[in-house]
Amino acid sequence: MSTLDDEEEVAERGGRGGAVAAADAVAFHLINMRSFSKEDLDQINSWRRPEQRFVMFNLESPVHLGDWRNWSLLADFFNWTMTYREDSDVYCPYGEVAELEDDELG
C-alpha cells in the first residue's frame, strides 16, 4: 500500500490539483523522502506536468542521511539539485565564513 493513499496526506502534500500541480518547480527535502516507496514516487510523477521541474533539496552531506538503500528509486526523478555544493543547479550555502574589513570590526 502506498503511503500516499490517505486522501488527507495527499492534500497536505499538495498533490492532485493542489499547489504541487500549479507550481513550475517543486522542491523535495531529501531527508523526508526516505520513507517513500516506488509506488509513492510513481504516484507523484503521475501528477507532474511535462514542463514542471522537480528539485532535490538537501543541505547536509549524504553521510548524514543514514543508511538509505533506496537511492536507485530516485534515478531520473529529479531535474535539478539544490544543495550546499557549488556545482548544484541551485547553490544554497549552509552558512558562510567571510573576512571582515577593518572598519567592520567592533
- How do residues 45-65 score in pLDDT, each as one tens digit? 888 889 999 999 998 887 777
Distance CA 20, CA 16 (A): 8
Question: Mean pLDDT over residues 18-46, rounded?
Answer: 86
Place of cell 526516505: 34
Distance CA 37, CA 1 (A): 9
Question: Mean pLDDT over residues 100-104, rounded?
Answer: 81
Give the per-residue pLDDT at 102. 82
Yes or no: say if 55 and 23 are a contact pair by the CB < 8 Å rule.
Answer: no
